[in-house]
Structure 1
Amino acid sequence: MLEFHIGTILFQLIVFLILMIVVAKFAVRPMLGVMKKRQDHIDNEISTAEANRIEAEELLAKQKEELNRVREEAKEIIDRAKRQSENEGQKIIEDARSQSERMIEQAKEEIESEREKAVASIRDEVAELSVMLASKVLEKEVDAKSHDKEINQFLKQVGDRL
């Protein structure tokens, strides 16, 4: 049967307590120290990661703000370039229009000048022909200078009809 000896129980209890003290001193305390260091390291990493996350969020917000600012500047530059090109296009059209009007005006003046030259040439020819005709009719040579007044009057009548 089962017998209990106080000496054996006492011896086993003392050995058990000594073993617990030795294990606690040489195994549990260093293990708790390592676990404490590991916990401190993990806490430090978590706080560093949190700080880095906050810094990254701030940096992201700044980058978004900068991107929006750059977009606005780009839009403003594009709008300014469009306005400038429209103004330059309008100026080119106006310059072309004024140049064409000047050319038309010069052409009109040249046409008028040529017409006047042609009329003057025709008048001279008509005067010569009329002098020749008159001289043949009268069968004598008529002096053109003496009949200048009559020729001019004749030319006015002929010129009005032209």
Structure 2
Amino acid sequence: MEFVWTSTVIAIIAFALLYWLLEKYAFGPLFGVMEKRRELVQEQIASAENSREEAARHLEEQKQALQEARKEAYAIIEQAKSTSVKQADDIIATAKSEAGRLKEEAVKDIETEKNKAVLSLRSEVSGLSVKIASKIIEKQVDEKEQKQLVDQYLKEVGGKP
């Protein structure tokens, strides 16, 4: 095999010319398309990262809102419990004071009725005493008749309403 330097030079020139043509017309647009594709992929990655961060932020906000709602619900329940306890205490206190007032009125009514009964009894006793004394004076009675008179008047008193 013989080495032909002209063939080698022509092959190198042809290769350089082909490389230059490919560089100008094929590699440039191909690398441009690949660069655009790389930029698009990076934008999509960045967009996905932003979306993930935003989703995480929204999730955290939702967790905080849920926590706040739970706190508010607990506060409302506690307030309702304290209000119901206070109302129950107020009702019990009112009932006790009303019962005390009714008891005092009943004691006063009983005392008044007792005083009326005593006055009525005194007037009847004094009237009966006068009647008994007049009967005794009208007739001199012995002890047996006097006892019968007293029993008779006591029966009359017991029969009167």
Residue identity opposite 2:105 in structure 1 = Q
Corresponding residue for 1:64? Answer: 63
Provide structure 1 residue ranges, at least 5 long, that are not aligned to the other structure.
1-10, 141-162
Distance 2:107 2:18 in 1: 129
> Structure 2: how far apart are the matches of 1:139 and 1:16?
176
Deviations 1:85-143 (A, max 9, x none): 10110121111012112111211211121111112111111111111222222239xxx
In structure 1, the partner of 2:30 is 31
C-alpha distance in 2, partners of 1:46/1:85? 58
Distance in 2 separating the partners of 1:12 and 1:68: 78
Following superposition, the deviation at residue 16 of structure 1 comes to 8.5
C-alpha deviation, 1:30, in angstroms: 2.5
Q: 1:64 deviation in Å?
A: 1.5
Alpha-carbon displacement from aligned partner over 1:11-70 (angstroms, at most 9, x marks no partner):
999989877765664444323322221221111111111022112212322331232233
Q: How does 1:44-55 map to 2 (within 5 A)?
A: 44-55=43-54
Q: CA RMSD in A?
A: 2.9
Does residue 114 of structure 1 match 2:108? no
| Bigger Cα displacement from structure 2, 23-32 vs 67-76 | 23-32
TM-score normalised per structure 2? 0.66
Q: Aligned equivalents of 1:86 and 1:65: distance in 2?
A: 31
Corresponding residue of 1:150: none
Q: Normalising by the residue count of structure 1, what TM-score does the alignment of the two structures yield? A: 0.66
The sequence identity of aligned pairs, in percent, is 42
Following the alignment from structure 1 to structure 2, what is the Cα–Cα distance between the partners of residues 42 and 85? 63
Q: Give, in angstroms, the shift of residue 72 of structure 1.
A: 1.7
> Structure 2 CA distance, aligned partners of 1:31 and 1:136?
153
1:89 aligns with 2:88: yes
Counterpart of 2:124 in structure 1 is 125
